[in-house]
Structure 1
Amino acid sequence: MSNADPDRNGTGALMERVRATIAARRLSHKDAAALIGVGKNTLEDHLAGEHVRSDSAEKYRSWLAGRQRASNVFVLPSAERELDLQLPGEESPPPPSRPRLVVDIFSGCGGLSLGFDLLEGGSQFRTVLALDNQVAPIATLNRNAAALGHGERAIGRVVDLTEFLNATEFLAFYLQHAGEALDDAELQAGLRTLDDGAFLLFLDEIARTDRAFVERLNAIRSTPNWAAACGGLNPRAVDQTSVGRFHDALRLPRPSRKVATLPPLLWSAPTPERASPASPGGKDRTDQDWIAEVEAEWDAEVELLAGRREGDGRGQLTASARRVGAFADFLATDAMQQVRAAWIEWRARREWLRASLFCDARFASGLRRLYERAQVAVLVGGPPCQGFSRIGRGKIRSLREARIQAHPDTEAGDARNRLFQQYVTVLSALRPDVFLFENVAHFRSVVRVDGAAFQATELLKEAIERVSHGETRYEVAQEVIDASRHGVPQTRQRYFMAGVLTGRDAESSTRLAAACLELRRDREAPLALALAGLPAPGVAGGDGRSTGAMDAQHALDHSDADAHAFSRWVRQPRPGTKVSPVTVDAHVCRAPRSDDAALFALMGPGRRWMDYRAEQANTSALLAGLVDALLDLSDDELGRLGASATGPGRPIPGRDALLDLRSRIDGALPLRLLLEQIGARLGTPHHLLEGGYIAKKESNHGDWLARLDASRPSKTMTSHMSKDTYAYVHPSAPRTLSVREAARVQTFPDWFAFGGVALTEAFKMIGNAVPPMISGAIATRVAVVLHRREVAGREAVARQRG
């Protein structure tokens, strides 16, 4: 399996040398991995062609050169800095007559599309729609979109892509949104009058159906049966994750004695009150197949809950199973059976209405004609990697069938697979000139189905072609991009795939797809550049909104401004202005515990706490041997020895105390002594001496607590920062990074606001984002590619006329 040509990052030849050396020394993979300092599975993946990270490559080179592996040292060896500044970037082409439209799916807070929006002041691209299923990142995206000059209309929408039945429904959704976002009166009028007003009729019917369901739910909630059923339900049962998932999957309001309201739904936006027109077919009805479909959907979710009820566990898990069981019993009450009947009628009618419109060929053809007014040039985003790596050719067939049938495929697999299917469906609906998506570096670019291997890129091309009935084909390219090689102060490696719509010359399209990912190399940016000019941060607990800390403005110091491309990027003026921001929000870090702050102060830059272990220390071995010798004595011998040690300060511990002492003499002894010393000074034991934390090694998250080095790029920002930031201790202050510092490492400009959300939510969306500086570099290449296509198209037309 290979994510990219191994020779692209210079490791193909390296791994061949490793393979030859292992064979020459007659080493097993297990023994070789131990000598090199990598895991056995990691070694085998690299030998099989998997992408090799720079830190692993350095281990291989050191082993081949005969250098001993430094496993527990207090000073990191300096890494070789590569400054290959080849491939000077091509300047952006002349801007088009109006910005090309971009759609961002799985958008988060918009890191991937932001780079496109910022290119040449927004003259090249404009994001018209961004979709995510999380509220906080979309709210952040919309607040910042206003600063980009997108007007007051929100471009971000909270939508679950798995809700769309097919490409036609997504296209209708896009056109409705684009008409409003672009303030295109002609597009809006065309959608209203299409197919004798079928779309407006549909929206009216959806609204009427939703209102009827809510009225029926509230009628049920007003009965004594409902009050009795709710009274007997443990309130904590509704808070269980699996119970919440049950309601989210069915789009069902959670049980309560309050007035019922529906959660956000596709097509649930309020519509003006009008006289109710006739329903499709002339009367209220629902296809019986849909009734059977949604009955099965409800029963499947109930079965999942039953499985949770019977799950094994202890302690908190047992209590959780009991609560889930209590909710399962609640589902069997007469009141909830009435809710089930109302839900089935509502859901089945809603699905039938959607299928009746969006599986109609004439309506689909009309939408395609309207789409010419707001065609999308670039689609960005990426589905979770698990769904793509597991997709098979049987799934591709089901995607093709979804073009004409709205029923879900029972073999579709987990939600991640459905997200991949929806990604292909969106591509088929919008047919952009270029698509781009990003994923983790170890994204599996080879898929094995029934013993046969397929390139993920080939599967993607085939999926798109089949879903669109051969009307759409893309030539694709793939690359693993290390952000630190392009001026980002972070060693972030990510997989990118670019696709270019096939024109008259497929070979040319292939070259253009590769050109989208050919980024200019830039000087390495150390973490110090990201921290420069920021004052001491505010301090907050897990939720910064409670004190307004996330909204507070902090003054910047531009006196140390650097000429590095990164510094220019993060300090760029807010769109529409010419002056760099003088303040930033969200400069808030978690309040460190006093014992943690004391430990942070003792750690050197670039140190992980596992680096303070001493697995091969002679003193520890001698101490362990001495205690073992005492434990080998009989109880009588140990007692006589203890009685003979009568001098002050020289007691011989009893056997239990010796056993406890022996358990502490291991590689973690130096770290234990540091933590005990901190606890003694503070008058309370350090919390990291409890709960098995101190036993963590390299193979089980020993880098969980680490201090950053300001002279080097940071480690990768991840969404785990929402849970804790122990892996991101500030290089010089006894605290962890702030939200703004993490945002700078991810290259969000200083004007990009993260206020208004919780500290945890901000860390999560920042960790999940694509660095806008990287997306900006890709946007430059995509602009060049699109310009070349347009020029080639004009030349071809001129030749035909000539």
Structure 2
Amino acid sequence: MAGRTRAPGTYEVALVRSKYLPLEAHPDACTPDTFREWLKQRRPEERLAVDLFSGAGGLSLGLKRAGWTVAAAVDNNDRALETHRHNFPGMSLKLDLGSLEGRNELLSLFEGVEVDLVAGGPPCQPFSRAGSAKIRDLVAKGIRDEHDVRKELWRAYIDIVLALRPRAVLMENVPDMGLADDFRVVRIIEQKLEDAKYVTQVHLVDTWKFGVPQHRRRLILQARRDSTEFRWPKQHANIVTLRDAISDLPPVPVNETGSRETPYARNGKLSRFAADMRKGAPRGLVHDHMTRPVRKDDAELFDLMDSKSLYSDLYQKFKDDPEKSRLFRYDTENFTDKYNRLGWDELSRTITAHIAKDGYWYIHPDQPRTLTVREAARIQTFPDNFRFAGMRSDAFRQIGNAVPPYLGEAAARALWPHPEDAASGPLQPFWGVVRRVLTDWATEQRAKSDWISLPGPRMGVPQAAVAALVGTGKANVDGLTEAMTHVDGLPHLTRAAYTKVVQSAQRPSARRALERLEKLAGKRKVWEDRDGVADQLGLKPNEKAVFRLLLDNDLLMATQGPIRVAERVAGIGLATDDTSANALNDGRINLAKLVGAGDDAPLRMAAVRLLSLTYCRAGGPACGGCPLREMCATQGAARAGQSPATPFSSREASEGALF
């Protein structure tokens, strides 16, 4: 085994616990009993917002910076609510929104109250790749229920939105909320909002483009019922580096952990970011600039690292040096990046709740220590006057779980009402119109020869199996028609039909694929078990996706062809030009918008796949017969002699960046 593994009970560093920081309520805070009186004190022009699953208040602070008054924040964590109650006016409520009683209690408080914006981020741990392995382990050990109710809290969120019917809606979450389930939850939420006459917008956002000094990609869903415009602030062209973010904070003395109150360092001109962070803070004093103690040998190892160092590479470099090899306590085959040193002129690694347990992914660029609470808060864009209740670990956890306020502000500004954008008549959500056209076309085509490529009354298990084996690529799909005539109307595959199907194959590859049906030919009962058919045929992932789709399963076939169709309609980020992970994830967003949710979603997905194989090919579209040609942004731009749109181009505010 390369490297070493620490023996149990030999941490070899004193565990220094911080004292609990109690925080008093904001002077303008209220309770459910005094809420109506609090409302009377609001100015008529104030726009009220509700923040669900608020945590410490990162999103609330973004809303405040964008101009809203947060009337109520709801969470189920005592420390986070104590933090929120100290930093914000209004109500900070402890409610279980997963229960009907909790939702009804909240709605009763707002009976007759006009809410302009409902915001929030339903708990995201079950969707996050970072937490999924741990969750699976807890389920396997019987410690946690396999059906995690937190996955369903998005239903509570949308139920409250539809009951309060605000002018605008904002939801933030990790990208895996969409990617983990084919964006099904996002598609359902969008459908419910569109049914309620909202126009929706979904983006995967790189937070650094809005001034957040870290790598962090978030899913933002917005909706409004007053306009089709979303005026995002201007994006940053350059990153806010870690030097910009925290270099003005004083060094922590070696072998010390900092303190609750520390004098600011006098080190010259502040960056714009640091100046914004210091606004409203006590002059000359920084709070919560405290970190954890580290082992002496870890501190020595930190000094050997820079921002490019991998734990495993360092071991290989120093394994033959007795003095330095003793510093490696972990198996370097399994812990290749056990430690991570941050770089001054780079973005920080994503700050997550894990920082509350282990700060070794966040080693200071200069000093042999991990980040302080205040440094982590800065990187999340919490200003220095924002305090966090509880112990040091409580503060780290609240910071890691928070929405970066700068991101919240940018997303909220996109929802601010502008009189010039107000709709003069009923709103026509673009993607809703596109989906209706696509559904009508697919329904019409299904009644004709294209039934072979679409879920419907004539598509049973034998038909879907043949179509999946033959038609997963353009080279074979042209020969699908004859093969399907031999199984049309059959509840199971007969031997005679099998022979004709194989003989109809126009290409050797199609023939070989269809010969896999032989083991099931002439059998009856097996065709009643669609999953069993897929397993016995050994369907490859793409074949299985086609098989399931044609049998009316709701899934996104996020392959290059369907993504190409969606992005040509949207006019952005064509997958044919960029196959990076981020570009493909953006492509999935557009595909999710095009497919939507509901009973007809599988039909639309199959129709998009059919378009990618016929009219909307990679080599160049044949737009004449495409049902979406009049709504295709790429074609519209070509007719107008313009370039296709770019993300956030529905409107960008002219006032520039956030700070």
Give TM-score scaled by structure 2 length: 0.51
Q: 1:430 to 1:788 in 2, by over 3 A?
A: farther
Query: Once the two structures are superposed, what CA deviation does each residue of 1:288-320 show, in whole Å capped at 9, x if it has no partner?
Result: xxxxxxxxxxxxxxxxxxxxxxxxxxxxxxxxx
Q: 1:737 to 1:386 in 2, by over 3 A?
A: closer
**Pairwise CA distance, 1:772:** 0.9
**Pairwise CA distance, 1:732:** 0.8
- Structure showing the higher helix proportion among its residues: 1
**Pairwise CA distance, 1:518:** 5.8
Amino acid at match of 2:298: D
Q: Paired residue for 1:526, among 227, 235, 241?
A: 241
Alignment correspondent of 1:418: 152
Say whether residues 1:724 and 2:371 are aligned partners. Answer: no
Amino acid at match of 2:106: F
SS of the residue aligned with 2:116? strand
Alignment correspondent of 1:439: 173
Amino acid at match of 1:157: L
Q: 1:531 to 1:516 in 2, by over 3 A?
A: same
Alignment correspondent of 2:203: 479
Contact 1:729–1:736 (Cα < 8 Å) also in 2: yes
Alignment correspondent of 1:137: 80
Say whether residues 1:772 and 2:474 are aligned partners. Answer: no
Amino acid at match of 2:177: F
Alignment correspondent of 1:600: 302
Tell me how far apart the structure 2 counterparts of residues 533 and 757 of structure 1 sit (CA, whole Å).
26
Alignment correspondent of 2:343: 709
> Where do 5+ consecutive residues of structure 2 fail to align?
1-41, 129-144, 426-659
Alignment correspondent of 2:477: none
Alignment correspondent of 2:636: none
Alignment correspondent of 2:268: 560
Amino acid at match of 1:379: V
Q: 1:742 to 1:168 in 2, by over 3 A?
A: closer
Contact 2:201–2:222 (Cα < 8 Å) also in 1: yes
Contact 2:233–2:413 (Cα < 8 Å) also in 1: no
Q: Paired residue for 2:252, among 512, 525, 537?
A: 537
Query: Once the two structures are superposed, what CA deviation does each residue of 1:722-764 show, in whole Å capped at 9, x if it has no partner?
Result: 111011111111111111111111111111112x411111111
Amino acid at match of 1:382: G
Q: Paired residue for 2:56, among 109, 116, 131?
A: 109
SS of the residue aligned with 1:496? strand
Alignment correspondent of 2:657: none
**Pairwise CA distance, 1:129:** 0.8
Q: 1:517 to 1:413 in 2, by over 3 A?
A: farther
Q: 1:673 to 1:761 in 2, by over 3 A?
A: farther
**Pairwise CA distance, 1:460:** 1.0
Larger displacement relative to structure 2 (520-529 or 702-711):
520-529
**Pairwise CA distance, 1:777:** 2.2
Say whether residues 1:163 and 2:99 are aligned partners. Answer: yes
Amino acid at match of 1:672: K
Q: 1:596 to 1:445 in 2, by over 3 A?
A: closer
Alignment correspondent of 1:759: 392
Tell me how far apart the structure 2 counterparts of residues 105 and 592 of structure 1 sit (CA, whole Å).
37
Contact 2:62–2:412 (Cα < 8 Å) also in 1: yes
- What value does the CA root-mean-square deviation take over the aligned residues? 3.3
Q: 1:462 to 1:412 in 2, by over 3 A?
A: farther
Tell me how far apart the structure 2 counterparts of residues 142 and 518 of structure 1 sit (CA, whole Å).
29
How do 1:290-439 and structure 2 match up within 5 A? 367=111, 371=112, 374-385=113-124, 413-439=147-173
Contact 1:437–1:497 (Cα < 8 Å) also in 2: yes
Amino acid at match of 1:492: R
SS of the residue aligned with 1:703? coil
Tell me how far apart the structure 2 counterparts of residues 380 and 533 of structure 1 sit (CA, whole Å).
33
How do 1:494-533 and structure 2 match up within 5 A? 494-501=218-225, 503=226, 509=227, 511-512=228-229, 515-517=230-232, 519-533=234-248
Q: 1:155 to 1:166 in 2, by over 3 A?
A: closer
How do 1:204-283 and structure 2 match up within 5 A? none
Tell me how far apart the structure 1 counterparts of residues 255 and 193 of structure 2 sit (CA, whole Å).
47
Contact 2:233–2:410 (Cα < 8 Å) also in 1: no
Query: Once the two structures are superposed, what CA deviation does each residue of 1:783-802 show, in whole Å capped at 9, x if it has no partner?
Result: 2x355566969xxxxxxxxx
Amino acid at match of 1:764: R
**Pairwise CA distance, 1:567:** 2.7
Query: Once the two structures are superposed, what CA deviation does each residue of 1:630-657 show, in whole Å capped at 9, x if it has no partner?
Result: xxxxxxxxxxxxxxxxxxxxxxxxxxxx
Identity value in percent: 31
Alignment correspondent of 1:571: 278
Tell me how far apart the structure 2 counterparts of residues 378 and 558 of structure 1 sit (CA, whole Å).
41
**Pairwise CA distance, 1:571:** 2.1
Alignment correspondent of 1:586: 288
Contact 2:48–2:116 (Cα < 8 Å) also in 1: yes
Tell me how far apart the structure 2 counterparts of residues 786 and 96 of structure 1 sit (CA, whole Å).
19
SS of the residue aligned with 1:602? coil
Q: 1:494 to 1:376 in 2, by over 3 A?
A: same
**Pairwise CA distance, 1:499:** 1.1
Give TM-score scaled by structure 1 length: 0.42
**Pairwise CA distance, 1:158:** 2.1
Contact 2:74–2:94 (Cα < 8 Å) also in 1: yes
SS of the residue aligned with 2:98? helix
Contact 2:49–2:69 (Cα < 8 Å) also in 1: yes
Contact 1:379–1:432 (Cα < 8 Å) also in 2: yes
Q: 1:749 to 1:596 in 2, by over 3 A?
A: same
Tell me how far apart the structure 2 counterparts of residues 561 and 780 of structure 1 sit (CA, whole Å).
29
Alignment correspondent of 1:617: none
Contact 2:255–2:293 (Cα < 8 Å) also in 1: yes
Tell me how far apart the structure 1 counterparts of residues 343 and 247 of structure 2 sit (CA, whole Å).
14
Query: How many positions carry a matched residue from both structures?
Result: 369
SS of the residue aligned with 2:178? coil
Alignment correspondent of 1:297: none
Query: Once the two structures are superposed, what CA deviation does each residue of 1:235-294 show, in whole Å capped at 9, x if it has no partner?
Result: xxxxxxxxxxxxxxxxxxxxxxxxxxxxxxxxxxxxxxxxxxxxxxxxxxxxxxxxxxxx
Q: 1:464 to 1:479 in 2, by over 3 A?
A: closer
Tell me how far apart the structure 1 counterparts of residues 51 and 292 of structure 2 sit (CA, whole Å).
31
**Pairwise CA distance, 1:428:** 1.9
Contact 2:302–2:363 (Cα < 8 Å) also in 1: yes
Q: 1:600 to 1:103 in 2, by over 3 A?
A: same
Contact 2:373–2:395 (Cα < 8 Å) also in 1: yes
**Pairwise CA distance, 1:605:** 3.4
SS of the residue aligned with 2:414? helix
> Where do 5+ consecutive residues of structure 1 fail to align?
1-94, 176-366, 390-410, 449-453, 504-508, 575-579, 613-667, 680-684, 794-802
Query: Once the two structures are superposed, what CA deviation does each residue of 1:49-70 show, in whole Å capped at 9, x if it has no partner?
Result: xxxxxxxxxxxxxxxxxxxxxx
**Pairwise CA distance, 1:441:** 2.7
